[in-house]
Chains A and B, each alone.
Chain A
Amino acid sequence: MAFQKGFFGQGYAGEDTGSKGLIKALGSLSKGLETVAIAEGEKLDKEVKAKAEQAARIDNFKSYQDAVDKGEIDNTKSDFYIAQYDNIKGKTAGIEYNTKKRLAFESWWADQSNRDEDDVDGSAFMAWSEDYDKTYLKDLGVKDSSSYFYKGFDPYISMSSQQLSSKYASANATRLKEKGKLNLQFVIEDALMKNPNNLEEVQTYINNLDITQNQFRFVGKTEFNQVVVQSYKNVIAEIANSTDLNSDYDLALALAEQIKDFKRPNGSRLLAGKDIEKWNEYIEKLSKEKTNYDRNITKFTQDAAVSEFIEDKLSAVESIFTNADFNDPDLKEGKNKFADLKVEYNLRWNQYLRNNKNHDPATKISYGRALLEDLEYKYKYADVTEIDTATRDSRFNVRGRLSAIEDVLGALIIDPDAQPTDEDSQVKERSLDTRVSIADIRNIDPAIGSLLRQTNRGQGIGNEYTVTLQEILDLMNEYNAWVRSNK
């Protein structure tokens, strides 16, 4: 049987659409008002923010509280206004702080650059920065500063520290490198100046520098080479100053030459490619400078009297070396010897002048004379090479020339007893001597005459022989004496 046939089922209460609509309308209106409130709030905030910023930028108070304390602003402003106001004040203070800290950094960096200690880990900067910040904030004098002030101020602290840290890191690295280069330059220059006469030792010392000295670890290999070259140049510039009486161009040139062959421990050279060419030009320029210097230094260091005396003496010596004895058509070594003598004389004379600028003229003349005598003696005894004693026409082939001499004498009709005139004194004297000698030369005693003696004893006639000018002079003197004694 089916039960509950009469049950008409469950009914459900319907919604009250009127109420529902009202509720919905109220909700919408509430939301709308909220949106308006938000919009009005944002608008108000913008205006207040602008007002606060404007106020903060045109007054000179340190903070809102400072302005309130001075009675220039009422203490009724909202936190938002205070926040904006103090935030701008904080930013302004931050900009000032940033500027001052940068300036302070430049000053500190200038001091730091002159210190010997190297701040390789940045600790010196960090200590300075922290100390500066601490002192600055303490002296900032912002009474009861709100957190908004520091919110505006703080970014500048971190920004400033970051920028300065970066700058410091870069500058310090450059400084360490430059300092290393500078120290390296000093060390090399010092070594060169201390051992100017032992450049090989200096070279070894330099080559060991980058191995033994930790302070040069910041200097790269290429820079190391450049510093070495520059150090040499500096030393050269110092010792080869054309306006300095104590300049030593010889050493300067020696240094310049050494750079050309300077080898690093790894076998590489300091100079390569175009640098070598430039360096050669540099050496050439230095040589020319030396010539000028020598000429100038002589003028500068001796007065007219000394100069005149020396020139006279030099002319006298020159005449010795270029007279008939030493400078006939067969014997030109006299001129050559004098050229060598003059070079050495100039070197030594200039050296003397450089080292003894304060000597009085008499002393200088005395030295100059002694020097010339020494050099004259030296070059007279200097070897004259490749004297041909084998050729028939050779003046030193005495025996071989006898017939030629006879021919000449035959053409000269000169009275042996006649006194030579002024015009032909040398010719006559010479002819006389020669003519007289011819008479006995066939019977010349080998014991007489250095040249002949040595010729006979040594290589024998016909061979090349080496004698000194003095020996030639002695031969001539002995020969003449012998001639005179056998008149």
Chain B
Amino acid sequence: MCNPTYIAIAALSLSALQSQQQYQADKARARAQEDKNKAARKSSQIAYLADLNKLDRDAIAANKLAAKDKEAGERDLIVKQDEALLTQLESGNANVDAVLRDVGFDYESEFSKLDQKVYDNNLNTIFGYDDAYAAMRRSFNQVPDVFKPSKAGLLIDVASSAVTQYGNVQGGKYGESKSSDLNTGEIG
């Protein structure tokens, strides 16, 4: 017959081994999760940079288009003013400057609009930067926390099992008698 106390000790050992294995598994899993999180963060940052790049590209393209419009307008204004100057000179108008001013005035508002558009583009790009950053933060926030198993917890767990088994042994869960009760001490 096996001594139930020894069996209980073996059970305790296995229980401790189980706890240790659980600790190791938890530790490996935490490490793997950490790697996953790192990759996710990196991906988020790359996406952020790509967002900034796109914002910049969009802003440059829009500003370039405004500059082209402005250039076309200026060219057209020059043509108009030259035509007006020639006409006035031919007609003998002494106040040529006034006519030129009138022509220039007609283009002034269009040029202001183009300037304003460029300004708006730049401002929107700046706002886009903030949005891209916020989006990156959101992605970061989705990354789960990683909890590493505690060594102290492992020790406490093992100790707890030991205490429980000790209590079981003392409490008679595995029998209250001793094997020696049967072996010796027969009443004569």
Contact = CB atoms under 8 A, between A and B. Distances in A.
A81 B177 contact: yes
A163 B50 CA distance: 98
A59 interface: yes
A67 B10 CA distance: 36
B188 A72 contact: yes
Contact of B176 (A40, A55, A80): A80
Interface stretch (A14-22, A105-113, A117-125, A349-357): A14-22
B29 A37 contact: no
B135 A3 contact: yes
Contacts of B132: 3-4
A43 interface: yes
B182 A51 contact: yes
A147 B137 CA distance: 72
Interface string B160-180: 000000001000111111111
B123 interface: no
Interface stretch (A27-35, A96-104, A177-185): A27-35
A73 B11 contact: no
Contact of A67 (B172, B174, B181, B187): B187
A44 B175 contact: yes
A40 B175 contact: yes
Interface in B1-47: 1-5, 7-8, 10-12, 14-15, 17-18, 21-22, 24-25, 28-33, 35-37, 39-40, 43-44, 46-47
Nearest to B21: A23
A79 interface: yes
B24 A19 contact: yes
A10 B37 CA distance: 7
B142 A80 contact: no
Given A4-B135, A74-B185, A41 B4 contact: yes
B76 to A, nearest CB: 34
B43 to A, nearest CB: 5
A48 B22 CA distance: 40
A36 interface: yes
A11 interface: yes
A55 B177 contact: no
Nearest to B32: A13
A48 B182 contact: yes
Interface string B104-137: 0000000000000000000000001001101110
Given A30-B15, A45-B175, A7 B185 contact: no
Contact of A13 (B4, B15, B29, B50): B29
Interface in A225-276: none
Interface residues of A, number: 55
A5 interface: yes
Nearest to B128: A1
Interface in A38-72: 38, 40-45, 47-49, 51-52, 55, 58-59, 67, 72
A26 interface: yes
A363 B11 CA distance: 119
A44 B177 contact: yes
A329 interface: no
Contacts of B182: 44, 47-48, 51
B21 A33 contact: no
Contact of A37 (B11, B46, B144): B11
A73 to B, nearest CB: 5
Interface string A66-100: 01000011101111110100000000000000000
A16 B30 CA distance: 11
A19 B21 CA distance: 7
Q: Please name the 5 residue pairs, one residue from A and one from B, whose CB atoms are nearest each other, closest first.
A: A41-B175, A3-B135, A6-B47, A13-B32, A80-B176
Given A19-B28, A55-B187, A77-B181, 19 more contacts: A3-B131, A4-B139, A5-B50, A6-B43, A6-B46, A13-B32, A16-B28, A23-B22, A27-B15, A30-B18, A33-B14, A40-B2, A40-B175, A44-B1, A45-B175, A47-B182, A58-B187, A73-B187, A83-B176
5 contacts: A4-B44, A9-B142, A27-B18, A47-B182, A80-B172
Interface of A: 1, 3-16, 19-20, 22-23, 26-27, 29-34, 36-38, 40-45, 47-49, 51-52, 55, 58-59, 67, 72-74, 76-81, 83
